[in-house]
Amino acid sequence: MSATDRRLWRGLDERELEAWVAAEFPGALPLLAEPTRREVMRAMAASLALAGLAGCGEGAEEAIPYVEQPPEEVPGAARYFATAIIFEGYAQPVLAETHEGRPTKLEGNPEHAASGGATDAFTQAAILQLYDPDRSAAPLKGGRPAAWTEVERAALELATSLERNGGAGFRILTGDVTSPTLSRQLDALQRRWPQMRVHSFEPVGAGARRDGLREAFGRALELQLRLADAEAIVTFDDDLLGPGPAQVRRVRDWAAARRTGRGRVFAAECTPGLTGTAAAARLAVAPARIPMLVAALARRCGVVAPEVTPTAPESAWIEAAARALEAASGAGLVTIGTRHAPGLHALVHRLNDALGHSGRSARYTEALTYPAAPLTALAEEMAAGKVETLLVLGVNPAYTAAGAIRFPEHLRRVGTIIHAGLYADETAALAHWHLPLAHDLESWSDARAEDGTVTILQPVIRPFLSVRTAHEILALLGGEVGAAPRAIVEATWRERFGDAFETHWRRSLHDGFVAGTAAPAIAVRPVAAGPVAIPKSTGIEIVFAPDPTVWDGRFANLAWLQELPKPLSKLTWDNVVSLSPGTARALNVGAGDIVHLAAGGRVLEGPAWLLPGQPDGVATVYLGYGRRRAGRVGDAIGYDAFALQDPSSPFLIDGARLSRTAGNRRLATTQMHGSMEGFDFVRRVGARDAAVKGAKERHDASLYAGWPTGDPAWGMVIDLDLCVGCNACVIACQAENNVPPVGKSQVEMGREMHWLRIDRYYAGPEEAPETYFQPVPCMHCEKAPCELGCPVHATVHGPEGLNEMVYNRCIGTRTCSSYCPYKVRRFNWFDFTRDVAPSIEAQRNPDVTVRGRGVMEKCTYCIQRLNEARIAAHKENRPIRDGEVVTACQQACPSSAIVFGNLADAASAAAKAKASPRNYSLLGELDTRPRTTYLARVAPGEGKD
Partner 1 sequence: MTDDAPILDPRQSYAAITRQIGDIPLKYPARLAWLVGLGLSAILLVVFVVSVTVLFANGVGVWGINIPVNWGLAISNYVWWLGIGHAGTLISALLLLMGQHWRNSLNRFAEAMTLFAVLCAGIYPILHLGRPWFVYWMFPYPATMSVWPQFRSPLEWDVWAVLTYLTVSILFWYVGLIPDLAAVRDRAGRRGWQIFFGVLALGWRGSARHWYRWRVAYRLTAAIAVPLVVSVHSEVSLLFAVGQIPGWHSTIFPPYFVLGAAFSGFAVVAMIAIVLRHAFGFDNLVTDRHLDALGKVLLACGLMTAYGYVFELVDAVYAGGAHELQTVQDRFFGAEAWSYWGAVVLNFIPLQALWFARVRRSAVALFLIALSVTVGMWFERYMIVVSSLYRDFLVSSWNGFTPSLWEWGVFIGTLGLFLVPYFLFVRLFPAISIAESKETIHEERHA
Determine, following the binding rule CB under 8 A, whether residue 827 of this chain makes contact with partner 1. yes
Closest CB to partner 1 among 156 and 676? 676
Pairing mode, strands 577-579 and 618-622: antiparallel
Neighbours of 807 (CB within 10 A): 14
**Backbone dihedral angles phi then psi of residue 136, each to the nearest 5 degrees:** -70, 135
Nearer to partner 1, 26 or 791 (CB): 791
Q: How far apart are CA 590 and CA 583, in angstroms?
A: 10
| C-alpha distances out from residue 731 to 47, 116, 134, 253, 827, Å | 44, 18, 20, 22, 18
**In the set 856, 888, 903, 911, which binds partner 1 (CB under 8 A)?**
856
Contact status: 681 vs partner 1 (CB under 8 A): yes
Q: Which of residues 730-789 bind partner 1 (CB under 8 A)?
A: 746, 749-751, 757, 759-761, 774, 776, 785, 788-789
Selection from 495, 249, 247, 219 nearest residue 366 by Cα: 219
Beta bridge partners of 805: 795
For residue 843, the minimal CB distance to partner 1 (Å) is: 23
| Binding span for partner 1 by CB under 8 A among 218-226, 249-257, 672-680, 837-845 | 672-680
Among positions 323, 413, 628, 853, the unique one binding partner 1 when judged by CB under 8 A: 853
Span interacting with partner 1, options 329-337, 420-428, 463-471, 825-833, rule CB under 8 A: 825-833
Does 673 interact with partner 1 (rule: CB under 8 A)?
yes
Q: How far is the CB of 808 from partner 1 (least distance, A)?
A: 10
The answer to whether residue 926 forms part of the interface with partner 1 (CB under 8 A) is yes
- Letters for 63-102 (x = contact with partner 1 by CB under 8 A, - = none) are ----------------------------------------
> Does 793 help bind partner 1 (rule: CB under 8 A)?
yes
Nearest approach in angstroms of CB 690 to partner 1 is 23
The nearer residue to partner 1, 66 or 679, going by C-beta atoms, is 679
Q: Which of residues 802-821 bind partner 1 (CB under 8 A)?
A: 809-815, 817-819, 821
- Minimum distance of partner 1 from residue 124's CB (angstroms): 22
With respect to partner 1, which residue has the nearer C-beta, 102 or 814? 814
Choice between 506 and 823, CB closer to partner 1: 823
With both helix axes pointing from N to C terminus, report the angle between 501-511 and 485-497 in degrees, rounded to the nearest 10. 120
Q: Which of 85, 378, 540, 790 binds partner 1 (CB under 8 A)?
A: 790
φ, ψ for residue 38 (rounded to 5)?
Answer: -60, -40
Distance between CA 625 and CA 611 in Å, rounded? 19
Phi then psi dihedrals of residue 459, to 5 deg:
-70, 140
| Buried-exposed string 444-482: b where 16+ CB fall within 10 A, e elsewhere | bbbbbbbbbbbbbbbbbbebeebbbbbbbbbbbbbeeee
For residues 497 and 506, give the distance between their C-alpha atoms in angstroms, rounded to a whole number.
11
Give the binding-site size for partner 1 (rule: CB under 8 A): 54
Residue 68 CB neighbours (<10 A): 5
Pick from 51, 500, 672, 907 the residue near partner 1 by CB under 8 A: 672
d(CA 182, CA 457): 13
By CB under 8 A, residue 109 contacts partner 1? no
CB of 811 to partner 1, least distance (A): 4
Q: Does 825 bind partner 1 (CB under 8 A)?
A: yes
- Under the criterion CB under 8 A, does residue 923 sit at the interface with partner 1? yes
Q: Is 461 in the site for partner 1 (CB under 8 A)?
A: no
Residue 798, interface with partner 1 (CB under 8 A)? Answer: no
Segment contacting partner 1 by CB under 8 A, of 5-13, 152-160, 451-459, 827-835: 827-835
Across the strands, what pairs with 336? 236
* Closer Cβ to partner 1, 466 or 774, answer by number: 774
Of 472 and 752, the one with the shorter C-beta distance to partner 1 is 752
| 94 strand-pairing partners | 83, 108
Among 258, 826, 918, 929, binds partner 1 (CB under 8 A): 826
In the complex, the smallest distance separating the C-beta of residue 274 from partner 1, rounded to whole angstroms, is: 18
Residue 399 makes contact with partner 1 by CB under 8 A: no
Q: Least distance to partner 1 from the beta carbon of 785, Å?
A: 5
**Per CB under 8 A, 416 contacts partner 1:** no
684 touches partner 1 (CB under 8 A): no
**Residue 404 neighbours by CB under 8 Å, 6+ apart:** 600, 602, 645, 646, 647, 648
Dist. CA 297–CA 299, nearest whole Å = 5
Regarding 792 and contact with partner 1 (CB under 8 A), the answer is yes
d(CA 525, CA 211): 16
CB of 939 to partner 1, least distance (A): 20
**One-letter amino acid identity for 230?**
A
CB 787 within 8 A of CB 796: yes
**CB 829 → partner 1: shortest distance, Å?**
3
The 3-state secondary structure of 349-397, one letter per residue: HHHHHHCCCECCCEEEEECCCCCCECHHHHHHHHHCCCCCEEEEECCCH
Distance (Å, rounded) from C-alpha 339 to C-alpha 600? 18
Angle at CA of residue 102, ends 729 and 51, nearest 5°: 125
**How far is residue 872's CA from residue 878's CA, in Å, rounded to a whole number?**
9
Does the bond joining 712 to the residue before it have cis omega, within 30 degrees of 0?
yes
Give least dist CB 207 to partner 1, A: 35
The helix (H) or strand (E) run that includes residue 747 is helix 744-748
**Binding segment (CB under 8 A) for partner 1, from list 35-43, 427-435, 604-612, 918-926:** 918-926
829 binds partner 1 (CB under 8 A): yes
Nearest-approach distance from CB 121 to partner 1, in angstroms: 19
What length does the chain have? Answer: 945
Binding site for partner 1 (CB under 8 A): 671-673, 675-679, 681, 746, 749-751, 757, 759-761, 774, 776, 785, 788-793, 809-815, 817-819, 821-823, 825-831, 853-856, 922-923, 926, 928
